[in-house]
């Protein structure tokens, strides 16, 4: 199964369980920890967990590997290797505004040469 197929399957599952404002960021040409990032709003804390539980129940039997997750009622991050999934309440999504970070990353990439070293020299 291709990466595009995997992402489409995740998006379809989230959509079928009433996730909102689903966005996919293709970062395959950027130096980042994943090639694809999926953001989706939940309807609230319990829905966040229900979305994540459904992803695991549906995807694991189909061979998808969940390498790790960080979970709270408002935000769950799931690491599926080349894909990172963020499930958030709308308040958390507005607060952390990952879309801006991901768009800037996509357009500019990492500018590691402009990051100062601890000594203050670049």
Whether residue 31 is predicted with pLDDT greater than 60 in this model: the reply is yes
Q: pTM for this structure?
A: 0.87
Q: At what angle do helices 3-16 and 45-59 cross, to 10 degrees?
A: 140
- The count of other CB atoms within 10 Å of the CB of residue 6 is 19
**C-alpha distances out from residue 63 to 1, 6, 33, 66, Å:** 10, 11, 21, 10
Q: Which of 9-13, 29-33, 90-94 has the lowest mean pLDDT?
A: 29-33
Check residue 73 and give its pLDDT: 87
Q: Is 111 exposed, middle or buried (0-12, 13-18, 19+ CB in 10 A)?
A: exposed
Whether residue 51 is predicted with pLDDT greater than 50 in this model: the reply is yes
Q: In order of start, what are the domains of the chain with their CATH numbers?
A: 3-108 (3.30.460.10)
State the average pLDDT for the chain. 90
Check residue 117 and give its pLDDT: 47
Q: Which is nearest to 25 in space by CA: 16, 34, 13, 38?
A: 38
* CA 65 – CA 62 distance, rounded (Å): 9
Whether residue 91 is predicted with pLDDT greater than 60 in this model: the reply is yes
Whether residue 122 is predicted with pLDDT greater than 50 in this model: the reply is no
Whether residue 71 is predicted with pLDDT greater than 70 in this model: the reply is yes
Residue bearing the bigger pLDDT, 114 or 17: 17
Backbone angles phi, psi at 37, to 5 degrees: -125, 130
Check residue 26 and give its pLDDT: 95
């Amino acid at each position: 199964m291709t990466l595009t197929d995997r992402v489409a399957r995740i998006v379809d599952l989230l959509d079928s369980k009433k996730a909102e404002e689903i966005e996919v960021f293709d970062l395959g040409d950027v130096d980042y920890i994943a090639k694809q990032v999926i953001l989706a709003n939940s309807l609230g804390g319990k829905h966040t967990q229900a979305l994540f539980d459904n992803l695991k129940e549906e995807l694991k039997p189909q061979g998808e590997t969940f390498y790790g997750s960080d979970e709270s009622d408002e935000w769950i991050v799931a690491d599926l290797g080349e894909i990172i999934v963020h499930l958030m309440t709308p308040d958390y999504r507005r607060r952390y505004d990952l879309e801006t970070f991901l768009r800037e990353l996509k357009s500019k990439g990492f500018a590691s040469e402009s990051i100062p070293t601890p000594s203050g020299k670049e």
